[in-house]
Structure 1
Amino acid sequence: MIFSLTAGSSGSGDARFVARLPLALSPGLVLQIPNGKYLAPGSSMGIQIEKLHYGYAVTLGPFSTSKEAEEALSRLRAAALWSAIELSIGLQYPTENGDIQLSDQPTAISENTQHIGATTGWTFIDGHYDAQKALIIPDDKRLASLELGKPQLVSSIPINLFLEKFEEALSFEKLGQIAIDEKLKLAIEVAMSHRFEVSERAQFIALVTSLEALLPDAPVSDVSRKAITEAIHLIKKSREQYEKDSRESRDLERLLSQVKSLERESIGERLQNFVEASTKRHPTLGSYEVIGLEIRSTYNLRSKLLHQGHIPSEQLVSKLEFLRAFVPKLLRLLFIEASNSN
C-alpha cells in the first residue's frame, strides 16, 4: 500500500475537540482489535483505540475547547509511557503535535474519496491530516486521514489489558507532573526503545543510556573544585604566551575545556549515587549497596564496549539480563513517585 485515505473525524454536531495519539509497537507485537476500533467498556474517559494500516491511534475526548484537548494529549503521552512500563513492551509515539490541513472551501467528494462518502454520507471534505501525527482534531469537521505506507508490525496483546493500563495512568491525580518531566519521559522512551533493537549490544547501550538520562548535574567537592580552579588558572596563564589561533593555543583551549568538565562528578559516580538513593527510597528494588555496585560495573562495561567495540559475550548477557529486569522496575517506581509529588 502506497497510502490510505479514510474518514478521520465524526464530521457532524457541535464544535468539539478530540486528542489523538498514534502509536507504534515494537516488532513482533500486534493488538487484536475487533472491527478495527475498541472503546474501553464502562470507560468514563471516552478513551478509544483504532487500528491503522500500520500501527494504532488512541483518542481521548471529546472536549469543548482545544486547550483541554491539548492537555489531554500530554496526559495520553504520559499514559503511553506507563503502559509501556507495565506491559514491558516497546512503544513509540510522536513527541511533537502535527497540524490539521483545513481547506479554504470544502472539497467535493471525488473518485479518490468516494469510499469515504460511501461510509460516512459526506458529500464534501473540509480538510485532512497525517495519520502518523499527534493531533487535536476538530471532530465536527469532515476530515480525511492520510496514512503513508511503511513496514508492518506484528504481535498479540489483549486489547482490554492495553487500554486498561492507559485508563490506570489517566486516573493518577497528578499525571500532569509526568507530562512536564522531560528527563523521566526521555528515560522511559529510551528504555522502551531497546525492544526495537535486534542486537543485544544495542539493547544494552539503550538501557544504560536510559538511566543516564535521569541524572541531575552534580558538582564535585569543594576541595576538588579548588584544585580544578587552580589548574584552570595555570592553563590560562600558559596559553597567554602563544598567539590566539596558534596550534599550541588551540591545544591548551581543548585542555581547558576538559579540565572544566571535571567540575561535575563523573557519569559513573553520579549514576551509582542516583541509583543507590532511588533504591533506598524504594527498597523493593533490592539492597542499595549491591544494586549500586552492579550499576557502576555495568556502566564501566558500557564504556568499555563503546571505546573498544567489544566485550565478552558472557558479561554482556549477564548485564543485559540484569538491566532488562531492573530498569523497568526502577522507572515504574519513579513514574509513581513523580505522579504523586507536589
Structure 2
Amino acid sequence: MTPDMQWRLLVPFTAPQLRFTEELSKTVAGYGVTIRPGSFPLGEIIVCNLPSEDAVRHAFLTLKRGMLIASINVPCGIRIEDDLMILDDNSALPSRKEQPFACPQSRSLERIILKPGPIEYQMSFALPKLMQGIQLGATSKAVAQALSDQRIALACTLYIDSFFETSYEAQFITLIGVLEVLKERGPVSPDAMQLIDGWLEEIRHLEVGEAQSFRGRLNFLKQISLGAGIRRTVTRYLGSDRAREVQELYNIRSKLVHEGERPLELRDNLRQAEIIVRELLAKILVDPRNLSEGRDI
C-alpha cells in the first residue's frame, strides 16, 4: 500500500423501520457521506477519499455515534456492528452483508451492491430526523463524552436492541432494562445503615457458610433499591411526574417477569416506556450540565 492511497469506508446498517428507495448524499461532520438503499432491512453508508487507516477508523466511530443519536431522534432501531475490517488490495470482500469494512478507493464493490425493495416507512417524515440525528451525534462533544461512559453506552445499545425484539413482552423488558442500567447508585439513610450494621453483628454466631450468605444479602441492603435508584434518575432529568409513571411501569415489569402476569394494555405500556426512555437518553446524551453528574449515571 502506498502512503498516498485513498480509502473507501462502507458501513452497513440494519434498520427495520426504514427503507431507502434512492441514494442520498450529504456532508456529515466534514465527511462526504452517501446513504444508499440496501436489501431490506439493510442500508449502506459510504465515505470515499479518506487519506489513511486512522482516518477510516475515526470516520467509522463518528458515523456509528451519529447513527446512535439518529436512532433516538427518529425514533427507530438502527444497528451497526462494532468490528471494522480493513482490507488491502488482495483481501476478499466480506461474505456477510452486515460487516463494516474499508478498502482501497480503487477496488470495485459491485459484488456486494444491494437491491432496494418497496417502501415500508414514511421517509418524508423520518429522513430529516435521521440526518439531524447523524449530524448531532457525529459532531457533539457532549455526546462523545456521554458515550465514553460504559453504562450510558450500554443503555443506548439496549434501547436500539428493543426495536429488534419480536414480542411486546421482550421489547418492554428491554426498555425497562435501560432504566435499570441508568439507575442512580447510593447508600441508604444513616438510620437504615445503623440497623443493617446491627444485623451484621448478630449473624456472627451463625454457621460460617450461612453467615457468609446472610452477610452478602445484608450488605446489598446498604444500597438504595433498584426501584428507588430508577426513580431518582428519572426525577433528576425528567421530573416527578415522569418518575411516578416509571414506578408504575416498573411494577408492571416486576409482575411480568416474576409472576408471568401480562397486562391487558401492554402495547400502551410499551409505547409509554419507549417515550420515557427516549426522553431520558436524549437528556443525558446532549446536556453537558447533566453529564457533569456522570458518576451517578
TM-score class, shorter? 0.7 to 0.9
Any idea what the Cα deviations from partners look like across 1:307-338, whole Å, max 9, x if unmatched?
Answer: 00013313x34433322332222222222115
Contact 2:20 2:38 in 1 (8 A): no
Which structure's residues are more often strand, by fraction? Answer: 1
Q: In 2, distance between residues paired with 1:146 and 1:226?
A: 68
1:219 Cα offset (Å): 2.1
Where structure 2 has 5 or more consecutive residues not aligned to the other structure, the ranges are 293-297
**2:77 aligned residue:** 90
Contact 2:142 2:286 in 1 (8 A): no
Map residues 83-122 of structure 1 onto 2, 5 A cutoff. 83-94=70-81, 96-100=82-86, 102=88
1:141 Cα offset (Å): 5.9
1:24 Cα offset (Å): 0.5
Q: Secondary structure at the match of 1:47?
A: strand
Map residues 107-256 of structure 1 onto 2, 5 A cutoff. 125-129=90-94, 130-135=96-101, 137-140=102-105, 142=107, 155-156=120-121, 157-158=123-124, 160-161=127-128, 162-240=130-208, 249=209, 251-256=210-215
Q: In 2, distance between residues paired with 1:339 and 1:101?
A: 41
Q: In 1, distance between residues paired with 2:289 and 2:35?
A: 24
Q: In 2, distance between residues paired with 1:190 and 1:42?
A: 25
Q: Does 1:321 align with 2:271?
A: yes
**2:55 aligned residue:** 68
Per the alignment, do residues 41 and 221 of structure 1 end up closer, same or farther by CA in structure 2, a change over 3 Å counting?
closer
Bigger relative contact order, structure 1 or 2, given CA contacts below 8 A and separation 6+? 1
Q: In 2, distance between residues paired with 1:201 and 1:153?
A: 29
Q: In 2, distance between residues paired with 1:42 and 1:256?
A: 54
Per the alignment, do residues 254 and 60 of structure 1 end up closer, same or farther by CA in structure 2, a change over 3 Å counting?
farther
1:220 Cα offset (Å): 1.9
Q: Secondary structure at the match of 2:199?
A: helix
Aligned length: 285
Q: Does 1:336 align with 2:286?
A: yes
The alignment's TM-score, normalised by the length of structure 2, stands at: 0.80
Runs of 4+ in structure 1 deviating by more than 6 angstroms, as ranges, are none
Per the alignment, do residues 215 and 141 of structure 1 end up closer, same or farther by CA in structure 2, a change over 3 Å counting?
farther
Q: Secondary structure at the match of 1:276?
A: helix
Per the alignment, do residues 59 and 337 of structure 1 end up closer, same or farther by CA in structure 2, a change over 3 Å counting?
farther
Amino acid at match of 2:5: A
Where structure 1 has 5 or more consecutive residues not aligned to the other structure, the ranges are 1-10, 107-124, 241-248, 280-287
Any idea what the Cα deviations from partners look like across 1:31-87, whole Å, max 9, x if unmatched?
Answer: 222xxx432279842122233335122234543332333233222222111111111
Per the alignment, do residues 153 and 264 of structure 1 end up closer, same or farther by CA in structure 2, a change over 3 Å counting?
farther
**1:25 aligned residue:** 15
Q: Secondary structure at the match of 2:14?
A: strand
Larger radius of gyration: 1
Amino acid at match of 2:120: S
Equivalent in 61, 65, 68 of residue 78 of structure 1: 65
Per the alignment, do residues 174 and 276 of structure 1 end up closer, same or farther by CA in structure 2, a change over 3 Å counting?
closer
Which structure's residues are more often helix, by fraction? Answer: 2
Q: In 2, distance between residues paired with 1:43 and 1:294?
A: 37
Q: In 1, distance between residues paired with 2:161 and 2:249?
A: 19
Any idea what the Cα deviations from partners look like across 1:105-137, whole Å, max 9, x if unmatched?
Answer: x6xxxxxxxxxxxxxxxxxx45433542234x2
Contact 1:21 1:73 in 2 (8 A): yes
> Among the aligned pairs, what percent are the same residue?
19
Equivalent in 277, 292, 307 of residue 243 of structure 2: 292
